[in-house]
Amino acid sequence: MTEEIALRGVELRLSYHGTPVVEDGRITLRPGHVTALVGPNGSGKSTLLRALARLHLPDSGTVTLGDGADALQLTARDFAGRVTLLAQSRPTPGGVRVSDVVGYGRHPYRRRWRAADPGGAAAVARAMELTGVTPMADRPVDELSGGELQRVWLATCLAQDTGVLLLDEPTTFLDLRYQVELLELVRDLADGHGVAIGVVLHDLNQAAEIADHVVLLHEGRVRADGPPAQVLTESLLSDTYGIRIEVSHDPGTGAVTTRPIGRHSRTAPATT
């Protein structure tokens, strides 16, 4: 039985001002699965994600939705009803309430001559509840902490009610608690709501923790893709990042943990 596909990029060639940054880019997102894109800075992770979101037009290759539709040929409104992106940074509107910002996510469902959105209120309420921002509904977003604001933007994406969620470095600038909470929410969206999620992460341990599938990029090419234990190996990671990286596996759960080894890294004392 063939596993269902939500969004796929195949043989993508992506460039900036004529200079290629991704060659033969490929990635498949599936409902209920988290796919993490990892790799050094400049490897093409965010560019590949933006191509899936139609924010970077490929020189060649295809982006298709699960029903075979050419994603690049859909109207912006129709595409926004099926795929949403949480970018690295967004402007923070001054004096706007949290509930109103989350409501921005309903824009694809509001036609020019018809402002009514029958499912809008329920979708906004559900998105706010899922992300835990309901108690701050009436607070101005410019008064929120970084972690709170990131959850509000995620709620805005969820209010869009799409089957595909793309996240570009969502844990950047968040403290440890909010990183954990946001990644747990990402996992919940896949497991409990069947959302297909593609997420760019720098932290290899975070990728190993939440991802069903990992795509490792290096110098604009996919170096490896597969389950975390298959991709996050000492040889692949050390060669890709140019630094020795140790990888361990929990004997009980099989969980993968990575540890970069620098000149001043402390080694565990020998046991007798």
Q: In this structure, are residues 165 and 157 in contact, taking their beta carbons and an 8 Å threshold? A: yes
Residue 233 lies in a domain: no
* CATH number, residue 103: 3.40.50.300
Nearest CA to 26 out of 177, 200, 220 is that of 220
Residue 87 lies in a domain: yes
Q: What is the pLDDT along the chain (272 residues), one digit of tens a residue?
A: 446 999 999 999 999 999 999 999 999 999 999 999 999 999 999 999 999 999 999 999 999 999 889 999 999 888 988 999 998 877 788 889 999 999 988 887 766 555 667 778 898 999 999 888 999 999 999 999 888 888 899 999 989 888 999 999 998 878 888 889 889 989 999 999 999 999 999 999 999 999 999 999 999 999 999 999 999 999 999 999 999 999 999 988 888 999 999 888 776 554 44
DSSP letter for each residue of 58-89: -SEEEEEETTS-BGGGS-HHHHHTTEEEE-S-
Residue 198 lies in a domain: yes
Q: In this structure, are residues 91 and 113 in contact, taking their beta carbons and an 8 Å threshold? A: no
Q: 245-249 and 256-260 as β-strands: parallel, antiparallel, unpaired?
A: antiparallel
Residue 1 lies in a domain: no
Residue 256 lies in a domain: no
The domain in which residue 205 lies consists of: 7-227
Q: How many domains does the chain have?
A: 1
Which residues have CB under 8 Å from 248's CB, separation 6+? Answer: 256, 257, 259
Nearest CA to 169 out of 193, 189, 158, 153 is that of 153
Q: In this structure, are residues 11 and 22 in contact, taking their beta carbons and an 8 Å threshold? A: no
Residue 211 lies in a domain: yes
Residue 59 lies in a domain: yes
Q: What is the pTM of this model?
A: 0.89
Distance (Å, whole) CA 190 – CA 270 = 42
Residue 84 lies in a domain: yes
